[in-house]
């Protein structure tokens, strides 16, 4: 029996939603600027509209779910004050763009790749097959490969962003340190036993040292491009190993999972070679629609299993597509109104809520928690 006939066992939602929202829908926004360069700005507007709106889906999942809110009550009360205040201070003290924007962009990219890793783990759970570290290595590996390519070849995206990053090694050290710290803290917080804690810390330190070295080499005009080609070879081989392992599954290969991994490799591996700006547009769109799909299925499952804890979300679950589109329209309209009337407040609010989204996302989507795994069908 094929995967297409077993949507509940292998697909996260169903074949249509998985292929359009999770695995392949981004290709349209990626190809459009390449085939019709005159439409690049239109594609960017569409992608950014959905991308900005998606982060606000996080807040109902926190504040409209009594159990989730009670789990980290003080964090959910303090973060909405700290994040906008921090952004306001950046502008007030003139530690503004490009510094803050560069940090935000870099962390966004990490956030994009991290979400793809989470989705791959959902597919692994549904297939009841997969090695966590191997899934992690190939997903983050292709994400890093794409970024290294853009650094080494000085991609023209977001103005002179890559030139700015390459101009000061402190940015490379800083961003690698943040990613290493987030990974290490997340692994330690995940409840690893005592015998693994020292190993996790050691891996975090190794990642910090090696990652910084690779990042600094990537911006070197002499060896940067050669390094990128070497990284492509390494992760190409690791992906082949990953694929062989998938075909060894006693239940047969999970084609939804394989298609998703192929989309990750194409977007971050092949995409920057063709057009870095198209990658930025496509990954923003992809990230948003992945999130819409995951939130939709999570809200529906939440309503079925414990709707009494989130009565408003249970109402939305009855017509999830309609309510999602309405939510996107309302949020987009309010943001555009704020941008037109009070531009400074718009900047503080959008950046502040973006950082809130990063933090809350890391808290509510922990597949190691049985309740969360059940809600996303893993």
pLDDT digits (tens, 9 = 90+) for 35-71: 988 888 999 999 999 999 999 999 999 999 998 899 8
> What would the mean pLDDT of 128-147 be, rounded to a whole number?
90
> What would the mean pLDDT of 162-169 be, rounded to a whole number?
66
Q: Is the pLDDT reported for residue 218 higher than 80?
A: no
Give the pLDDT band of residue 237 (cuts 50, 70, 90).
Answer: very high
Give the pLDDT band of residue 7 (cuts 50, 70, 90).
Answer: very low
> What would the mean pLDDT of 155-168 be, rounded to a whole number?
65
Distance, in Å, from the CA atom of 219 to the CA atom of 216, rounded to the nearest integer, reads: 6
Report which of 105, 26, 110 is spatially closest to residue 362, judged by C-alpha positions.
110
Who has greater pLDDT, 181 or 68? 68
Positive or negative, the Cα torsion across 243, 29, 322, 324? positive
Q: Is the pLDDT reported for residue 246 higher than 90?
A: yes
Please say whether the beta carbons of 60 and 312 come within 8 A. Answer: yes
Please say whether the beta carbons of 226 and 152 come within 8 A. Answer: no
Report which of 351, 356, 358, 378 is spatially closest to residue 367, judged by C-alpha positions.
378
**How would you classify residue 128: left for phi > 0, otherwise alpha for psi between -120 and 50, otherwise beta?**
left
Q: What is the pLDDT of residue 169?
A: 66
Give the pLDDT band of residue 2 (cuts 50, 70, 90).
Answer: very low
Who has greater pLDDT, 341 or 375? 341
Q: What stretches of the chain show up as alpha helix (H) in DSSP? A: 7-10, 15-17, 26-35, 40-54, 58-63, 66-71, 73-92, 99-127, 132-152, 161-167, 169-189, 194-218, 224-247, 255-265, 271-274, 276-306, 311-317, 320-341, 343-364, 370-375
> What would the mean pLDDT of 209-228 be, rounded to a whole number?
76
Q: What is the pLDDT of residue 155?
A: 61
Q: Is the pLDDT reported for residue 78 higher than 90?
A: yes
- 299-357, pLDDT tens digit by residue? 998 888 887 888 888 888 888 899 999 999 999 999 999 999 999 999 999 999 999 99
- 274-292, pLDDT tens digit by residue? 988 899 999 999 999 999 9
Return mean pLDDT, the chain.
85
Distance, in Å, from the CA atom of 91 to the CA atom of 312, rounded to the nearest integer, reads: 37
Who has greater pLDDT, 272 or 305? 272
**In sequence order, what are the residues at sequence separation of 6 or more whose Cβ sits closer than 8 angstroms to the Cβ of residue 97?**
none
Q: What is the pLDDT of residue 158?
A: 61
Q: What is the pLDDT of residue 6?
A: 46
> What would the mean pLDDT of 145-160 be, rounded to a whole number?
75
Taking the CA atoms of the chain, what radius of gyration do you get in angstroms? 21
> What would the mean pLDDT of 93-115 be, rounded to a whole number?
78
Q: Is the pLDDT reported for residue 223 higher than 70?
A: yes
Token pair of 102, please?
């560069």
> Does a cis peptide bond (omega within 30 degrees of 0) precede residue 120?
no
Give the pLDDT band of residue 242 (cuts 50, 70, 90).
Answer: very high
Q: What percent of the chain has pLDDT over 70?
A: 89
Distance, in Å, from the CA atom of 208 to the CA atom of 180, rounded to the nearest integer, reads: 6
Distance, in Å, from the CA atom of 143 to the CA atom of 141, rounded to the nearest integer, reads: 5
Give the pLDDT band of residue 129 (cuts 50, 70, 90).
Answer: confident
């Amino acid at each position: 029996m094929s995967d297409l006939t077993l949507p509940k066992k292998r697909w996260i939602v169903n074949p249509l939603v998985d292929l359009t929202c999770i695995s392949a829908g981004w290709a349209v926004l990626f190809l459009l600027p390449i085939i019709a360069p005159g439409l690049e700005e239109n594609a960017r507007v569409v992608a950014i509209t959905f991308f900005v709106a998606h982060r606000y889906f996080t807040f109902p999942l926190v504040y409209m779910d009594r159990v989730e809110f009670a789990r980290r009550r003080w964090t959910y009360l303090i973060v909405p004050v700290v994040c906008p205040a921090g952004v306001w201070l950046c502008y007030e003290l003139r530690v503004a763009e490009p510094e803050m924007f560069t940090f935000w962009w870099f962390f966004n990219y990490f956030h994009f790749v991290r979400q793809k890793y989470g989705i791959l783990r959902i597919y692994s759970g549904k297939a009841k097959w997969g090695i966590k570290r191997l899934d992690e290595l190939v997903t983050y590996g292709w994400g890093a490969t794409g970024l290294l390519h853009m650094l080494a070849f000085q991609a023209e995206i977001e103005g002179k962003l890559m030139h700015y990053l390459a101009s000061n090694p402190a940015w490379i050290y800083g961003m690698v340190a943040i990613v290493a710290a987030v990974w290490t803290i997340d692994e330690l917080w995940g409840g690893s036993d005592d015998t693994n804690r020292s190993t996790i810390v050691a891996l975090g330190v190794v990642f910090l040292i090696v990652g910084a070295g690779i990042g600094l080499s990537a911006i070197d005009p002499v060896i940067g491009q050669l390094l990128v080609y070497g990284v492509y070879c390494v992760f190409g081989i690791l992906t082949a190993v990953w694929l062989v392992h998938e075909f060894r599954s006693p239940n047969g290969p999970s084609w939804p999972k394989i298609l998703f991994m192929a989309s990750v490799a194409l977007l971050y591996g092949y995409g920057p070679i063709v057009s870095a700006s198209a990658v930025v547009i496509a990954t923003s769109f992809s990230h948003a629609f992945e999130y819409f799909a995951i939130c939709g299925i999570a809200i529906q499952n939440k309503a079925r299993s414990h709707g009494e804890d989130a009565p408003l979300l249970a109402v939305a679950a009855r017509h999830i597509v309609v309510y999602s589109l309405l939510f996107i329209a309302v949020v987009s309209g309010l943001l555009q109104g704020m941008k037109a009337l009070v531009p400074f407040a718009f900047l503080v609010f959008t950046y502040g809520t973006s950082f809130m989204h990063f933090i809350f996302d890391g808290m509510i989507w922990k597949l190691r928690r049985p309740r969360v795994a059940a809600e996303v069908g893993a």
